[in-house]
């Protein structure tokens, strides 16, 4: 993360100031600016890191790239320049989004890529491709009960108030990888969000 790299000189300066203050050679007032700058970097670290990633986008992991080529027809049909733009957007979406696993240890990278590929496909022509009002995704391995409708199990839904999208992997994976055979719930939820943001 760029924010950690940016804070390193101030941490070193702070440690030097603390040492000389302890020895009695320096006034404690010199500690304050370093603490203020470090606190500011800490508070603004998500924005600082995001700006860094936008200027220096990371290259997509080779396994995820092969996976998208294999299972995502939209990506396969893009020209090389558009494929690169698509991969950059998928990577940035994964970085900017909080993926929360439920009833499992973690959300696998290929699942994150599959979810991200659907929103990037839907918003490929838009400047705001992230639909940034929804930055948290909860992933269940199976259909889940909803607090609003506890008697029925759901495969996907959105909570606009919290900016959360929920998916069941049982329905998500077949719909996103075999789109001619199964209904794509990822695209369905992103289309609902797109309609909410751009009525």
User: What is the tens place of the pLDDT at every residue in 159-178?
Assistant: 888 889 999 999 999 988 88
Residue 16: the pLDDT is: 83
pLDDT exceeds cutoff 80 at 129: no
Query: Coil, helix or strand for 79?
Result: coil
Mean predicted confidence (pLDDT) in 111-123: 92
Pick from 108, 101, 94, 122: nearest CA to 179? 122
Give the residue ranges of DSSP H helices in the chain: 2-23, 31-43, 45-55, 62-71, 73-76, 80-96, 109-122, 169-177, 185-197
Q: Which of 6-15, 71-80, 160-169 has the lowest mean pLDDT?
A: 6-15
The band of 1, judged by pLDDT with boundaries at 50, 70 and 90, is low
What mean pLDDT value characterizes the chain? Answer: 86
Mean predicted confidence (pLDDT) in 49-71: 82
Separation in Å, CA 68 to CA 90, 95, 106, 173: 10, 17, 20, 13
pLDDT exceeds cutoff 80 at 157: yes
Query: Coil, helix or strand for 101?
Result: strand
- First and final CA of the chain: distance in angstroms? 36
Contacts of 27 (CB under 8 A, 6+ apart): 21
pLDDT exceeds cutoff 70 at 6: yes
Which single residue is written with the structure tokens 């929360």? 100
Task: Provide the whole-model pTM.
Answer: 0.79
């Amino acid at each position: 993360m760029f924010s950690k790299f940016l804070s390193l000189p101030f941490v070193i300066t702070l440690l030097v100031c603390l040492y000389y203050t302890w020895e009695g050679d320096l006034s404690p007032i010199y500690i304050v600016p370093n603490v203020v700058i470090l606190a500011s970097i800490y508070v603004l670290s998500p924005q600082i890191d995001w700006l860094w990633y936008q200027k220096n986008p990371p290259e997509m992991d080779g396994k995820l790239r092969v996976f998208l080529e294999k299972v995502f027809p939209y990506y396969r049909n893009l020209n090389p320049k558009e494929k690169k733009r698509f991969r950059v957007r998928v990577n940035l979406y994964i970085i900017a989004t909080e993926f929360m696993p439920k009833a499992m240890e973690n959300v696998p990278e290929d699942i994150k890529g599959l979810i991200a590929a659907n929103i990037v496909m839907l918003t490929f022509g838009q400047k705001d491709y992230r639909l940034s009002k929804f930055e948290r995704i909860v992933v269940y391995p199976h259909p889940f009960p909803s607090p609003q409708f506890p008697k029925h199990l759901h495969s996907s839904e959105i909570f606009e108030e919290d900016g959360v999208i929920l998916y069941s992997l049982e329905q998500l994976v077949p719909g996103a990888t075999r789109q001619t055979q199964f209904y794509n719930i990822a695209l369905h939820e992103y289309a609902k969000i797109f309609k909410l943001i751009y009525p």
